[in-house]
Amino acid sequence: MTKRPFLGWFVSPAGLVALGLTAAMAAVFQFSMRAYIPGSLEVGGFTLQNFAALVRPLYALAFWNTILLCFETAAFTLILAYPLAYALVRTRSSAVRSFILIAAVTPLFLGEVVRTYSWMIVLGNNGFLNTLLVKLGLVARPVQMMFTSGGVIAALVHVTMPIMVIMLAAGLSHIDRNCEKAAESLGAGPVRVFLTITLPLSMPGIVAGFSTAFAWTFSAFATPQLIGGGRVSTVSTLIYQLGFSSFNFPFAASLSIVGLALSLAVIALLKQATRPLERLASAT
Amino acid sequence: MKRSPAAIALRWSGRVLVAAILLFVLLPGIVVAVTAFNDRALLAFPPQAWSLRWFWRAFSYSDFGRGFWNGLTVTLWASSIALVVGAAFAIAIHRYTFVLKSLLEGILLSPLIIPHYTIGLGVLILASQTGAGRGFPLVILTHVLLVLPFVMRSTFISLENLDGRLELAASSLGATPGRVLLTVTIPLLLPGLLSGWLFAAILSFNEFTATLFVSSQATQTLPVAMYNYVREFADPTLAALSVIYIAVTALLLSFANAFLGLEKILNVDAH
């Protein structure tokens, strides 16, 4: 079609929104290179001091911890979400499918605060898990689970599960079942069919899910803030602390810029590293 | 076909595994629901006595009430603006080529990977530099940025399933482009547009991190009010509120599933 009716009407509002977003990102970038004037919301002249300060152990460690936390969360989420996505796509009962779908997807729409709060009750010293463990006689005293990175990971896995299930299920549902049937008819057992056909073919979904889980965890704030309770510091909690406790917005901005660059770099690396696997999937 | 014992064992262990994972997914919700009816102010498990008083407190705590109405205002504006802007743009992307198309699309989809705190910080700095106050427009703008990708995605999926011949038929019968859009395209896209709006609304109503950065005491939404509450008090009021939250969200999603087909919206349809 050569005619493009309403093109201007369709695109210009979106263009305005994109302009707003670009301006906001440019503002962060600009602020990251401004000097901080203690006790004032005004900023000073241009400087690279903020970026130089980021190599201090406190901040370097926070970056390292955050990336580690993201990897662990994404890995655990993948392991737990795969069977669920598989059951969701492959079950023959529509009641089971609806149940899994609602159970897996509802948490996505509850927001971080509600979900984090519910994990505080599960993990607390008088909480569900500790009461259960003590009653069963497995431990003598409550185990400290709040304010630990293990607790943060458990809650983050729960927070990232829905999106991982959705992405894996999308990948699994586009697999041509005839490939599996062909393998079966040639005598492959169910385990072999899964390992040599289904798993490789679902690789695109796995890669997409893993990188999204990574990005979401990197972006999480309420969970590390409330469950970590200041003892697990991540990029997000540091940025908030710098911005709203010490009003050092320039430094918070530089932390955001480096954090964003780092998470984009990790995701790009992930895509690069898993490219052979994806090629395998498309070749099969 | 008779199954071997090994295949049956495999099948059942798969079912047990899935049930165990579902338990992990549902556990916090169940624990919260039980805690909400706990009579005592201490966050202890299991409750010794039952009561509804935390529900009353959740309803009477003024910050929650104000947060609810603030959130509703922001959500209705943000998801409606995002619907109009996002759906129009998705149609343009799907049908036309124009300058800066992929750049514009990339920018508008980028909030999917840019952390919400970065966007919140950016909007906050922008507002302080341009002298704009921290009022509702600022919160609404932030939410539009965040939910736009979801509306675009949902419109895309509907456009893929749209039979273009219906539009060609209408225009060959003499309908103007405007009439085709209003009487053929938009009605056919309606389920997708509605579900996109619903998704955007639910996400906006629950958005927390970016809102924490850009809202003030006067514009704080419910999740922000809840966050402030949990930092100050440790009683089950929030559990009661969470129960209401979970119930309403599950109800809305069941509704969306029954009438619009959640599988289609999420693109996990097996067929």
Number of H helices, E strands in chain A: 15, 2
Q: What whole-number distance in Å separates Cα of residue B188 and Cα of residue B182?
A: 10
Q: What is the pLDDT of residue B139?
A: 96
Mean pLDDT of chain B: 88
End-to-end CA distance of chain A: 36
| Residue ranges for chain B with pLDDT beneath 50 | 270-271
Cα–Cα distances (Å) from A26 to A32, A210, B121, in that order, read 10, 29, 11
CA A276 to chain B, closest CA, distance in angstroms equals: 24
With CB atoms and an 8 Å threshold, state whether B209 touches A22.
Answer: no
List the single residue in A with minimal CA-CA distance to B223. A113
Question: Do the domain assignments include residue A227?
Answer: yes
Question: Tokens in use for B30?
Answer: 């169940």
Q: What is the pLDDT of residue B2?
A: 59
Residues 194-253 of B with CB under 8 A from A: 202-203, 205-209, 212-213, 223, 226-227, 230-231, 238-239, 242, 245-246, 249-250, 252-253
Q: What whole-number distance in Å separates Cα of residue A217 and Cα of residue A260?
A: 12
Q: Which residues of B touch A10 (CB under 8 A)?
A: 88-89, 91-92, 96
Q: What is the mean pLDDT of residues A23-40?
A: 88
Q: What is the pLDDT of residue A43?
A: 80
Q: Return the amino acid letter for B129.
A: Q
Percent of chain A's residues with pLDDT above 90: 36
The residues with which A34 forms a beta bridge, in sequence order, are A46
- C-alpha B149: how far from its chain's center? 11
In a mutagenesis test of the A interface, which of B63, B118, B189, B195 is the best target, namely the one with the most A β-carbons within 10 Å?
Answer: B118
DSSP B4: P
List the single residue in A with minimal CA-CA distance to B23. A103
Mean pLDDT of chain A: 87
With CB atoms and an 8 Å threshold, state whether A14 touches B108.
Answer: yes
Q: Are A147 and A226 in contact (CB under 8 A)?
A: no
DSSP A45: E
List the single residue in B with minimal CA-CA distance to A169. B268
Across the interface, of A10, A109, A226, the residue whose CB is closest to B249 is: A109
pLDDT digits (tens, 9 = 90+) for A254-283: 999 999 998 889 888 888 887 777 676 665
With CB atoms and an 8 Å threshold, state whether A114 touches B245.
Answer: yes
Q: What whole-number distance in Å separates Cα of residue A196 and Cα of residue A284?
A: 10
Question: Do the domain assignments include residue A238?
Answer: yes
Question: Do the domain assignments include residue A36?
Answer: no
- C-alpha B8: how far from its chain's center? 40
Q: What whole-number distance in Å separates Cα of residue A202 and Cα of residue A176?
A: 11
Residue A106's CATH number:
1.10.3720.10
Residue B83 contacts A where some CB pair is shorter than 8 Å: no
Question: Do the domain assignments include residue A32?
Answer: no
Is the predicted pLDDT of residue A18 greater than 90, yes or no? yes
Block residue for tokens 């966007």: B119
Q: What is the DSSP string of A120-173?
A: HHHHSTTSHHHHHHHHTTS-SS----TTSHHHHHHHHHHHHHHHHHHHHHHHHH
Q: What is the mean pLDDT of residues A122-137?
A: 86
Q: What is the pLDDT of residue B42?
A: 64
Q: What is the DSSP string of B209-226?
A: HHHHHH--TTT--HHHHH
CA B122 to chain A, closest CA, distance in angstroms equals: 4
Q: What is the dihedral of CA A234, A236, A238, A240, to 10 degrees?
A: -150
> Which of B217, B209, B200, B216 has its CA nearest to residue B252?
B200
**Number of neighbours of residue B181 by Cβ within 10 angstroms:** 19
Residues 136-165 of A with CB under 8 A from B: 158, 161
Question: Tokens in use for A80?
Answer: 């737990």
Q: What phi, psi does A143 have (nearest 5°)?
A: -85, 135
Percent of chain A's residues with pLDDT above 70: 96
pLDDT digits (tens, 9 = 90+) for A176-202: 888 888 888 888 888 888 888 888 888
pLDDT digits (tens, 9 = 90+) for B45-85: 677 778 888 899 989 999 999 999 999 999 999 999 999 99
Question: Tokens in use for A4?
Answer: 């493009």
Q: ω before B46 within 30° of 0 (cis)?
A: yes
Q: What is the pLDDT of residue B116?
A: 93
The residues with which A46 forms a beta bridge, in sequence order, are A34
Residue A29's H or E segment, with its range, is helix A7-31
Residue A113 contacts B where some CB pair is shorter than 8 Å: yes
Question: Do the domain assignments include residue A39?
Answer: no
Question: Tokens in use for A102?
Answer: 């609602």
Q: What is the pLDDT of residue B271?
A: 41
Residue A177: give the domain boundaries: 56-283
The residues with which A43 forms a beta bridge, in sequence order, are A36
Cα–Cα distances (Å) from B200 to A50, A108, B29, B145, in that order, read 36, 12, 23, 11
Across the interface, of B18, B42, B126, the residue whose CB is closest to A84 is: B18
List the single residue in A with minimal CA-CA distance to B267. A170
Cα–Cα distances (Å) from B48 to A122, A130, B40, B237, in that order, read 17, 16, 8, 17
The residues with which A36 forms a beta bridge, in sequence order, are A43
Q: Are A155 and A116 in contact (CB under 8 A)?
A: yes
Residue A249 contacts B where some CB pair is shorter than 8 Å: yes
User: Which ranges of chain B does DSSP label H, i.e. alpha helix?
Assistant: 5-36, 53-60, 62-95, 101-109, 116-130, 136-160, 164-172, 177-180, 186-206, 209-214, 222-232, 237-260, 262-265
Residues 93-132 of B with CB under 8 A from A: 95-96, 98, 104, 107-108, 110-119, 121-123, 125-126, 128-129
Question: Do the domain assignments include residue A200?
Answer: yes
Question: Do the domain assignments include residue A3?
Answer: no
Q: What is the largest CA-CA distance in chain A?
A: 76
**Number of neighbours of residue B59 by Cβ within 10 angstroms:** 14
B230-254 as b/e, with b when 16 or more CB fall inside 10 Å? beeeebbbbbbbbbebbeebbeebe
Cα–Cα distances (Å) from A163 to A169, A205, B51, in that order, read 10, 11, 35
> Is the dihedral angle over the CA atoms A197, A200, A205, A209 positive or is it negative?
positive
> Which of A92, A192, A180 has its CA nearest to residue B6?
A192
Is the predicted pLDDT of residue A229 greater than 90, yes or no? no
Contacts of B84 (CB under 8 A, 6+ apart): A13
Q: What whole-number distance in Å separates Cα of residue B243 and Cα of residue B240?
A: 5
Count of the separate structural domains present in chain A: 1
Question: Tokens in use for A196?
Answer: 């040599």
List the single residue in A with minimal CA-CA distance to B97. A4
pLDDT band at A1; cut points 50, 70, 90: very low
> Which of A50, A61, A57 has its CA nearest to residue A232?
A61
